[in-house]
Amino acid sequence: PSRRTGELDNRGSHFYLAKFWSEELAAQDEDTELKAKFAPIAQALAENEEKIVAELNEVQGKPADIGGYYAVDPAKVNAVMRPSETLNQIIGSLQA
């Protein structure tokens, strides 16, 4: 992650961690159920990489209301830390 605005920060690192893990799980042959579950996730993350990175970079450099300093609002923090609707939909499909 970079500390400079316009470059990937921790949110981008989380995206790439999810992408690489899903690719590895989809490539392994020891657990076919796991492979089948993560193959479409890996494909969707790879196909939407540019869009997701753009969505993550788009929110940088803007003030964010997280509902406080010590006692933050979890819903507001979630919105700030998960700004890519595309990534949220892909990851959310795992819960279905």
- Rounded Cα distance, 11 and 43, in Å: 20
Look at residue 1 and tell me whether its pLDDT is greater than 60: no
Q: How does the average pLDDT of the chain come out, rounded?
A: 91
Dist CA 41 CA 46 (whole Å): 9
Please give the distance of CA 37 from its chain centroid, rounded to a whole number.
17
Mean pLDDT calculated for residue range 7-34: 92
Query: What gap in Å lies between CA 14 and CA 84, rounded to an integer?
Result: 12
**Confidence (pTM):** 0.84
